[in-house]
């Protein structure tokens, strides 16, 4: 089994990797919103024939952070094992 490599990566001997991983995870919500915001005008124009497209396209901004917020406890539980 490869427990030694995993323990070395997440041990107190290597706090730099832990800090980098936490920083990357913390930016997921912001990065996903930035990606969606850049495509909103094109989506609104492409699906202009749909009713409530303005509302639906703006809801796309709240979906990625909501998914991250709902699944982060499960991810934390898996990581803490």
| Range 22-42 average pLDDT | 83
The token pair that represents 38 in the structure block: 């850049």
pLDDT reading at 78 higher than 60 = yes
**By residue range, what is the domain housing residue 22?**
3-80
Mean pLDDT over the full length of the chain = 80
Say whether pLDDT at 73 is over 70.
Answer: yes
Complete DSSP assignment for 23-81: HHHHTHHHHHHHHHHHHHHHHHHHTTTSTTHHHHHHHTTTHHHHHHHHHHHHHHHHHH-
Task: Please state the pTM of the whole predicted model.
Answer: 0.48
Round to whole Å and give the CA distance between 39 and 57.
9
Rounded Cα distance, 30 and 38, in Å: 13
Number of domains in the chain: 1
Percentage of the residues of the chain whose pLDDT score is greater than 70: 83
């Amino acid at each position: 089994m490869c427990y030694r490599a995993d323990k070395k990566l997440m041990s107190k001997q290597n706090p730099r990797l832990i800090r980098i991983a936490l920083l990357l995870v913390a930016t997921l919500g912001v990065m996903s919103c930035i990606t969606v915001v850049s495509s909103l005008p094109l989506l609104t124009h492409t699906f202009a024939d749909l009713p409530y497209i303005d509302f639906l396209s703006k809801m796309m901004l709240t979906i990625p952070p909501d998914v991250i917020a709902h699944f982060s406890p499960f991810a934390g539980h898996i990581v803490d094992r």
